[in-house]
Amino acid sequence: MKETRKGMLLVISGPSGAGKGTLVSRLLDQDPSFRFSVSVTTRRKRDNEIEDVHYHFISEAEYDKLLGEDAFIEHATVHGHRYGTLKSEVYARMEQGQNVLLDIDPQGARAVMEKEPSCVSVFILPPSYHELKVRLHTRNTEREEEISRRLQNARGEIEQMGRYRYLVVNDNLELAFDQLMAIVRAEKQNSVRYFPVVEE
Ligand code: 5GP
What mean pLDDT comes out for the span 83-90? 97
Contact 136, 16 (CB under 8 A): yes
Report which secondary-structure segment, H or E, holds 145: helix 144-159
* Residue type, position 108, single letter: G
Rounded CA separation 119/37 (Å): 14
What mean pLDDT comes out for the span 141-169? 92
Quote the domain boundaries for residue 113: 2-37+97-197
* pLDDT number for residue 154: 94
Rounded CA separation 179/169 (Å): 9
What is the residue-wise DSSP string for 155-192? HHHHHTGGGSSEEEE-SSHHHHHHHHHHHHHHHHT-TT
In a domain? residue 124: yes
In a domain? residue 105: yes
* CATH, residue 32: 3.40.50.300
* pLDDT number for residue 142: 73
In a domain? residue 59: no
12-58 per-position pLDDT tens digit = 999 988 999 999 999 999 999 999 999 999 999 999 999 999 999 99
Ligand 1 centre distance from Cα of residue 85 (Å): 9
- Report helix, strand or coil for 11: strand
* For ligand 1, atom 7: residue with the closest CA: 105
Rounded CA separation 103/85 (Å): 10
Beta bridge partners of 41: 57, 83
What mean pLDDT comes out for the span 142-147? 84
Give the count of domains, the chain.
Answer: 1
In a domain? residue 53: no
Q: Is the pLDDT reported for residue 79 higher than 80?
A: yes
What mean pLDDT comes out for the span 161-183? 97
In a domain? residue 42: no
In a domain? residue 150: yes
Q: Is the pLDDT reported for residue 145 higher than 90?
A: no
Report which secondary-structure segment, H or E, holds 60: helix 60-68
Residue 154 C-alpha from the chain's centroid:
16
Local confidence band at 144 (pLDDT 50, 70, 90 cut-offs): confident
* pLDDT number for residue 143: 82
Q: What is the mean pLDDT of the chain?
A: 95
Local confidence band at 92 (pLDDT 50, 70, 90 cut-offs): very high
3-state secondary structure 68-118: HCCCEEEEEEECCEEEEEEHHHHHHHHHCCCEEEEECCHHHHHHHHHHCCC
Contact 188, 34 (CB under 8 A): no
Identify which has the larger pLDDT, 79 or 194: 194
Pocket of ligand 1 (CB under 6 A): 16, 39, 43, 74, 76, 78, 83-85, 103-105, 107-108
In a domain? residue 141: yes
The pTM for the full model equals 0.96
In a domain? residue 45: no
Among 50, 105, 107, 170, say which to mutate for ligand 1: greatest number of ligand atoms within 8 Å of CB.
105
Question: Percentage of the chain with pLDDT > 70?
Answer: 99
* pLDDT number for residue 139: 79
* pLDDT number for residue 49: 94
* pLDDT number for residue 9: 98
Beta bridge partners of 13: 123
Tell me how crowded residue 11 is: count the other CB atoms within 10 A of its CB: 26
